[in-house]
């Protein structure tokens, strides 16, 4: 059985869907602080928290778990600056408990959800896995701390892990059965689509004085299903190679904030109002990944990587669920 932590979240719920599609037997845990029970389309569900050792012990003793895909984490950059204790507690301590329980139950394969935020302000574009890691906020810092912790867990106890550093994850299941529902929503594509729906008055573009072609920030948007597919390939890699590894997961294509707004206007067939605002603290001007390593070692190939597909699948979800899972 595969254990998915954080399986009721945006990315976790797409992972659950994909694992079910592929016929895996799964156990899902989520504390439902941010996740939605309705987003979990199957598997055996436990509502609980990684900080609760007894809870983890129960899950591992009741199920024959062979590998773990670990999404459960707090992931808001701004909140992490305001409240680093929450981030160290949920992310670092939570993962420590998880790994401790895995070792006790002789489960030694872990796919870990990391982030491009470990790099901070990049030195080179595209960013390579061996580039300098210098997070500029506690969120990225906790993810990097976990990667370092996992290295020592491998050396001491043979826990093999694949850490996947995500760039900007977006899009949704093409049928719109599950999708992105954050509260508060901070990500560009859902904000743009909520504006198209009239739920928001306008998009505030965080700065147009960056050193880029149109002055707005450039990001590497990757489709959530391509991302989840890389997790399946990472599990297969752990089975085959029994070696720990770190991979970037991105599209290798950068799009500016203005390009996203323009493409979204095309997809929804109407103008989306926006206004140029001040820069957001801590935003690097350009973040684009090299995903060559994942392509070569995992045999990963993207299927949904055009900006049009990313936005139109997200639109499928938002236009049919304007208030997310609430309805
Ligand atoms: N952004 C923006 N307005 C918004 C939300 C985001 O201009 O309301 C910009 C943000 O500054 C960044 C890009 O869109 O350059 C993507 O931001 P997001 O929060 O989606 O992801 P991040 O890059 O922070 O992980």
| pLDDT, tens digit (0-9, with 9 covering 90-100), for 76-96 | 998 999 999 999 999 999 999
**Is 96 found in the same domain as 55?**
yes
pLDDT for residue 282: 82
**Is 205 found in the same domain as 240?**
no
Ligand 1 mean position to 166 CA, how many Å? 15
pLDDT for residue 81: 93
In the block, which residue shows the tokens 């954050």?
182
Round to whole Å and give the CA distance between 187 and 174.
19
Round to whole Å and give the CA distance between 171 and 111.
21
State the number of CA atoms in the 13 A half-sphere of 283 facing the CB. Answer: 21
175 assigned to some structural domain: no
Phi, psi values for residue 304, rounded to 5°: -120, 35
Annotated catalytic residue 139: yes
- Asked if pLDDT for residue 327 goes beyond 80, the answer is no
Q: How confident is the model at residue 72 (pLDDT cuts 50, 70, 90)?
A: very high
Q: What percent of the chain has pLDDT over 90?
A: 97
Task: State the closest ligand 1 atom to the C-alpha of 217, by its place in the atom list counted from 1.
Answer: 15
Q: How confident is the model at residue 158 (pLDDT cuts 50, 70, 90)?
A: very high
Q: Which domain holds residue 232?
A: 2-170+221-249
Q: Which entry of 10, 87, 139, 166 is annotated as an active-site residue?
A: 139
Straight-line distance from the first to the last Cα atom of the chain, in angstroms, rounded to the nearest whole number: 32
Specify which residues 161 forms β-bridges with.
Answer: 110
Question: Using one digit for the tens of pLDDT, what is the confidence trace for 20-53?
Answer: 999 999 999 999 999 999 999 999 999 999 999 9
Quick check: 180 and 314 in contact, CB under 8 A? yes
Domain boundary among 249, 269, 300: 249
Nearest partner of 291 among 249, 254, 253, judged by Cα: 249
pTM: 0.97
Task: State the closest ligand 1 atom to the C-alpha of 186, by its place in the atom list counted from 1.
Answer: 19
User: What's the rounded mean pLDDT across residues 187-193?
Assistant: 98
Positive or negative: CA dihedral 224, 289, 240, 107: negative
Written as one string, the DSSP assignment of 4-33 is EETTTSHHHHHHHHHHHHTT--EEEEE--S
Task: State the closest ligand 1 atom to the C-alpha of 257, by its place in the atom list counted from 1.
Answer: 14
Round to whole Å and give the CA distance between 92 and 97.
9
260 assigned to some structural domain: yes
Task: State the closest ligand 1 atom to the C-alpha of 260, by its place in the atom list counted from 1.
Answer: 14
Residue with the nearest Cα to atom 14 of ligand 1? 188
* 117 contact partners, CB below 8 Å, separation of at least 6: 77, 135, 136, 137, 139, 140, 143
User: What's the rounded mean pLDDT across residues 116-128?
Assistant: 95
Ligand 1 mean position to 275 CA, how many Å? 14
Based on the structure, what is the number of domains in the chain? Answer: 2
Q: Report the chain's mean pLDDT, rounded to a whole number.
A: 97
- DSSP character at residue 275: E
177 assigned to some structural domain: no
User: What's the rounded mean pLDDT across residues 224-252?
Assistant: 97
- Asked if pLDDT for residue 259 goes beyond 90, the answer is yes
Ligand 1 mean position to 238 CA, how many Å? 33
Domain boundary among 229, 249, 269: 249
Q: How confident is the model at residue 281 (pLDDT cuts 50, 70, 90)?
A: confident
Ligand 1 mean position to 81 CA, how many Å? 17
The residue to mutate among 219, 256, 284, having the most atoms of ligand 1 within 8 angstroms of its beta carbon, is: 219
88 assigned to some structural domain: yes
Alpha carbon of residue 241 to chain centroid: 24
- Asked if pLDDT for residue 150 goes beyond 90, the answer is yes
User: What's the rounded mean pLDDT across residues 191-206?
Assistant: 98
């Amino acid at each position: 059985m595969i254990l998915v932590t954080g399986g009721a979240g945006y990315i976790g719920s797409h992972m659950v869907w994909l694992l079910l599609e592929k016929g895996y037997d799964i156990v899902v845990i989520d504390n439902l602080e941010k996740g939605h029970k309705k987003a979990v389309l199957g598997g055996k569900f436990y509502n609980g928290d990684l900080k609760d050792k007894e809870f983890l012990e129960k899950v591992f003793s009741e199920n024959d778990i062979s590998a773990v895909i670990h999404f459960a984490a707090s992931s808001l950059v701004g909140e992490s600056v305001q409240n680093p204790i929450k981030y160290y507690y949920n992310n670092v301590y939570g993962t420590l408990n998880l790994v401790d329980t895995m070792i006790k139950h002789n489960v030694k394969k872990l796919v870990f959800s990391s982030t491009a935020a470990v790099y901070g302000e990049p030195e080179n574009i595209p960013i390579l896995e061996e580039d300098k890691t210098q997070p500029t906020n506690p969120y990225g810092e906790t993810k990097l701390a976990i990667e370092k912790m996992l290295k020592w867990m491998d050396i001491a106890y043979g826990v093999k892990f694949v850490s996947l550093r995500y760039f900007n994850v977006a899009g949704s299941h093409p049928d719109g059965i599950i999708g992105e529902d954050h509260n508060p929503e901070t990500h560009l594509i859902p904000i743009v689509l909520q504006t198209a729906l009239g739920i928001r008055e306008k998009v505030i573009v965080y700065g147009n004085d960056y050193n880029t072609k149109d002055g707005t920030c450039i990001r590497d948007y990757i489709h959530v299903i391509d991302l989840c597919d890389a997790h399946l390939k990472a599990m297969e890699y752990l089975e085959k190679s029994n070696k720990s590894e770190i991979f970037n997961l991105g599209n290798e294509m950068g799009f500016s904030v203005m390009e996203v707004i323009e493409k979204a206007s095309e997809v929804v067939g109407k103008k989306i109002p926006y206004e140029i605002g001040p820069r957001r603290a801590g935003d690097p001007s350009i973040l684009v990944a090299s995903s060559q390593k994942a392509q070569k070692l995992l045999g990963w190939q993207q299927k949904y990587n055009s900006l049009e597909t990313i936005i139109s699948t997200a639109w499928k979800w938002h236009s049919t669920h304007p208030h997310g899972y609430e309805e």
